[in-house]
């Protein structure tokens, strides 16, 4: 089974050459029910390229996001760039203006941001960068090197922002490779995960708490064992009661369809009243109807847990050792136990395959998300945006848009959907756009799009 973390690192260093294989097959252009409006195409220069995660709204019509590469090209960043944080603002011409508010330098400040940003109540931005920070541990020498950081960006009042590192990982018990977003609880504590390192070298859940002196105190609240609890966490969310939920990309059930690496898990960490957390396994995936290798997870307004699993389901896409094109799943609580439901299995056709990003909900309870291009189908179908609507008998699936490649975008699946006040869908693609950041004729630097459902 391919290791998703190695795939992501490999994609950064090889500039997404994997997509070259997808461009070998030319098939008829797929029609789409909606129209895409490209808001911004990255150039691969100081503005960055390869945007990751979701756009974060500020409630005033502006959006914030990260580009994993590009930005500055000096020192450790000379080959690919170390990434940027940007602001997207509506302009007087009816369009949008992209402004870089921070360029990573690849040193102690971090490098390669890959997660959605988070606001605090004062308007400061928080995020993680998988590289940079501390360079003294050889275990962390994956790409640009460094064990990664949690960073804070504070507005200065004149349109500029100042970055500070609130934790620099050392790759020991504290972990390294922080890929997920950080989340706040009601007391102002910040939580996140590392994908590697820790007691069993398969990642942690950590807490950062304000120490009253302007700094932050770090502690590990859970170390994954790579057993039934899973290993290598990929997403972390929090509910209104302060319960944490994490998805993992390996361990859980092993053997058979799950191979020796396991099919992944979802765990719940509940505050126990004594400053610690009690762990409960929500689900060990089986690579059947429930899927395998869960990544993005979300909670709806009723506290039900939804997510995307990369593999498993009805169809056999013959991708990797775990079969199936992926599923969207739901977990509901009954009698103190979580019950698993498959609400959609991807077929690898016009609906795409291998969903990665966490589902997004609108006020009516509809679900929106993105999927990977089906094998060898790009540039006719280079990824999809979909909608799942609740019905009296289950869920109804609609493909809202198939990306045709080129200037219209390629590969939205690492990036989820943000819904604006008018109900328009905003998202980003890894590749495609008007500029070419790659050594071949395929690719592009990525873009930001809008779709009206």
Has residue 1 got a pLDDT over 80? no
What is d(CA 446, CA 453) in angstroms, rounded to the nearest whole number? 22
Q: Which domain holds residue 110?
A: 40-216
Across the chain, mean pLDDT equals 89
pLDDT tens, position by position, 148-162: 999 999 999 999 999
pLDDT of amino acid 25: 35
* Residue 336 pLDDT level (bands cut at 50, 70, 90): confident
pLDDT tens, position by position, 20-63: 333 333 333 334 467 899 999 999 999 999 999 999 999 999 99
Residue 142 within a domain: yes
pLDDT of amino acid 27: 34
pLDDT of amino acid 65: 98
Residue 178 within a domain: yes
Residue 184 within a domain: yes
Percent of the residues in the chain that have a pLDDT greater than 90, as a whole number: 76
200 or 374: whose pLDDT is higher?
Answer: 200
Q: What integer is the mean pLDDT of 66-74?
A: 95
Residue 374 within a domain: no
Has residue 334 got a pLDDT over 90? no
Q: 336-351: buried (b, 16+ CB within 10 Å) or exposed (e) per residue?
A: eebebebbbbbbbebb
DSSP assignment of 135-159 equals: ---GGG-SSS-S--EEEEEEE-SSS
Residue 346 within a domain: no
Has residue 215 got a pLDDT over 60? yes
Residue 196 within a domain: yes
Domain count within the chain: 1
Q: What integer is the mean pLDDT of 100-105?
A: 98
pLDDT of amino acid 397: 97
424 or 21: whose pLDDT is higher?
Answer: 424
Least Cα distance to 323 among 345, 349, 301, 295 occurs for 345
Residue 126 within a domain: yes
Residue 157 within a domain: yes
* Residue 144 pLDDT level (bands cut at 50, 70, 90): low
Least Cα distance to 136 among 104, 91, 168, 181 occurs for 168
Q: Which residues lie closer than 8 Å to 216 by C-beta, 6 or more apart?
A: 166, 167, 190, 208, 209, 210
């Amino acid at each position: 089974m391919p290791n998703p973390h190695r795939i992501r690192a490999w994609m950064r260093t090889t500039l997404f050459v994997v997509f070259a294989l997808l461009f070998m097959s030319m098939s008829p252009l797929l029609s789409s029910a909606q129209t895409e409006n490209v808001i911004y195409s990255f150039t691969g220069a100081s503005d960055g390229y390869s945007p990751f995660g979701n756009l974060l709204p500020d409630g005033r019509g502006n959006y914030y996001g990260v580009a994993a590469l590009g930005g500055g090209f000096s020192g450790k960043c000379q080959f690919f760039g170390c990434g940027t944080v940007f602001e997207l603002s509506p302009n007087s011409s009816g369009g949008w203006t992209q402004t870089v508010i921070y360029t990573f330098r690849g040193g102690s400040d971090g490098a390669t941001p890959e997660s959605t940003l988070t606001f605090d109540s004062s308007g400061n931005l928080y995020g993680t960068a998988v590289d940079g920070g501390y360079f003294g541990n050889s275990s962390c020498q994956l790409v640009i090197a460094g064990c990664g950081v949690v960073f804070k960006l504070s507005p200065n009042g004149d349109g500029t922002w100042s970055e500070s590192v609130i934790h620099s990982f050392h790759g020991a018990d504290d972990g390294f490779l922080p890929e997920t977003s950080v989340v706040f609880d009601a007391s102002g504590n910040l939580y996140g995960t590392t994908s590697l390192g820790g007691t069993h070298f398969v990642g942690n859940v950590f807490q950062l708490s304000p120490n009253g002196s302007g700094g932050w105190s770090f502690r590990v609240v859970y170390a994954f064992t790579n057993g039934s609890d899973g290993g290598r966490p990929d997403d972390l969310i929090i509910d209104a009661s302060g319960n944490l939920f994490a998805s993992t990309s390996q361990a859980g059930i092993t053997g058979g369809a799950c191979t020796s690496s396991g099919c992944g898990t979802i765990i719940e960490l509940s505050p126990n009243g004594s400053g610690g957390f009690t762990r409960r396994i929500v689900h060990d995936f089986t690579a059947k109807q429930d899927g395998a290798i869960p990544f993005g997870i979300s909670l709806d307004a009723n506290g039900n847990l939804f997510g995307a699993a990369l593999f498993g389901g009805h169809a056999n896409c013959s991708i990797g050792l775990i079969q199936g094109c992926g599923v969207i799943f739901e977990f509901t609580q009954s009698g103190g136990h979580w019950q698993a439901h498959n609400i959609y299995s991807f077929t690898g056709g016009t609906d795409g395959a291998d969903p990665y990003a966490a589902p997004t909900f609108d006020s009516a309870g509809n679900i929106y998300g993105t999927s990977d291009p089906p094998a060898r189908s790009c540039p006719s179908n280079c990824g999809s945006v979909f909608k799942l609507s609740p019905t009296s008998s289950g869920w109804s699936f609609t493909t809202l848009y198939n990306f045709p490649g080129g200037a219209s975008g390629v590969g939205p699946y690492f990036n989820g959907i943000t819904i604006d006040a008018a109900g328009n869908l905003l998202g980003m693609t890894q590749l495609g756009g008007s500029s070419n950041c790659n050594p071949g004729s395929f690719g592009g630097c990525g873009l930001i799009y809008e779709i009206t459902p």
